[in-house]
Structure 1
């Protein structure tokens, strides 16, 4: 379990939550027992507006800065760098403090255009600009014995860099990162697939040739996934060590490369 609290700009780590919308902990009947474990709890309802930017982050309430980048620049997100979240008396599972993408599964990045980022709630279309399924040069060897998991590119990576497409139109955007842990409903008592999402404020400058995004690349969030969708509600973890990632069908839309 994890969240992405740090934006990386041209390989430089910024401060936690400096450009990223803060999230809220999972609700409890007694706030006295809120711990850091409540902050890293995943989303499990694909129809919730929290799927856009995380729990209670569809509107920016921590006044994040807006990062200015050029189309074609390298940016990225880092996992769980925050130290000193509100920890009270309740215990915390130690493995959830590991600064990496603890669960196997696909990683994607999205853009949604905005006029006023401070008030924008993610209601405009979203466009996928990155999808990581198989291993890449950024992948790291997992720290456990399930070597078959090496097939998932982002598994146990502490951060991930990517490029803003060079033909991205200039303007303000929500930059959204999403990792999904594919789990069937009812598996080990699970409510189903787990979604880990966060959003950064971004302004893209483009001095070159911009291209408009075609409608077939645009989706609504929520709306991009449905509860029980076969691609993401299936068991691809330690319960099936013979699973071949090349057989996995990636949910749409397609990646817009500009």
Structure 2
């Protein structure tokens, strides 16, 4: 390979846009990060985002179905605070969302198909100062609480950050996501919902997916997906 080609390739790999990318390699349990990809299904596209809303990779990222059998399952308490680490700090504007799906058996063999997913947490733009602010920017980890009435059982726990910095362009939203495998104990008798399927979760023209952050200045941001279930 010519030296000029090597320099060009290196520039692409280490460009600001690439360095702004990230993935979620580890669970945070009891306030401490666990080893990378011990309980989180490892993806095969490194820190690159997904772009195709209709791909089954939207469930647990590229390679996230195949890596299930190599992933352990963490025991977590309903109502507990858990989280995910990030491989790089978040460099793109956009919302943070967390979904779960109860698995019919051992979570390592579940592909996430069907209307099984429900949202338990979301964080979007803040307009309280009179202008739009994105609290997710710069984060290197993200924590949230599980619903206290979540029924006992095995689940996929899916975290997602949607980069909307280029979402004024059609199909410009970028999806960064990973799934962990968890066994919930000490839960309740809640009925999670509404249940949705992935893909099918979002539409290309949803206002939180096709979104212009720049001009005219936005006065609201509508977080995509179903309502949050938290009981």
Give the alignment's TM-score, normalised by structure 1: 0.74
Q: From the superposition, tell whether residues 63 and 111 of structure 1 become closer, same or farther in structure 2 (CA, over 3 Å).
A: same
> Does 2:111 align with 1:132?
no
What is the aligned residue count?
A: 207
Equivalent-residue separation in structure 1 for 2:131 and 2:57 (angstroms): 28
SS of corresponding position for 1:52: helix
Cα displacement (A) at 1:253: 0.4
Which structure 1 segments of 5+ residues have no match?
26-38, 81-98, 136-146
SS of corresponding position for 1:110: strand
Equivalent-residue separation in structure 1 for 2:215 and 2:137 (angstroms): 15
Which of 107, 119, 126 matches 1:117?
107
Equivalent-residue separation in structure 1 for 2:131 and 2:26 (angstroms): 25
Equivalent-residue separation in structure 2 for 1:51 and 1:254 (angstroms): 19
Equivalent-residue separation in structure 2 for 1:186 and 1:106 (angstroms): 15
- Say if 1:183 and 1:232, in contact at 8 Å, map to a contact too: no
| 1:79-138 CA distance string (max 9 Å, x none) | 01xxxxxxxxxxxxxxxxxx2111110000010011121210001410100001146xxx
Q: From the superposition, tell whether residues 227 and 160 of structure 1 become closer, same or farther in structure 2 (CA, over 3 Å).
A: same
Please give the root-mean-square deviation of Cα atoms over the aligned residues, in Å: 2.3
- Say if 1:21 and 1:198, in contact at 8 Å, map to a contact too: yes
Give the alignment's TM-score, normalised by structure 2: 0.82
Match of residue 172 from structure 1 = 154
Counterpart mapping for 1:88-103 below 5 A: 99-103=88-92
Match of residue 141 from structure 1 = none
- Say if 2:168 and 2:210, in contact at 8 Å, map to a contact too: no
Match of residue 79 from structure 2 = 72
- Say if 1:47 and 1:226, in contact at 8 Å, map to a contact too: no
Counterpart mapping for 1:146-165 below 5 A: 151-165=133-147
Equivalent-residue separation in structure 2 for 1:59 and 1:169 (angstroms): 26
Which of 50, 75, 79 matches 2:57?
50
Cα displacement (A) at 1:252: 2.8
> Does 2:217 align with 1:243?
yes
Equivalent-residue separation in structure 2 for 1:162 and 1:22 (angstroms): 21
Equivalent-residue separation in structure 1 for 2:58 and 2:97 (angstroms): 13
Which structure 2 segments of 5+ residues have no match?
1-20
Match of residue 15 from structure 2 = none
SS of corresponding position for 1:175: strand
| 1:130-184 CA distance string (max 9 Å, x none) | 001146xxxxxxxxxxx99971121221111111110000000000000001256
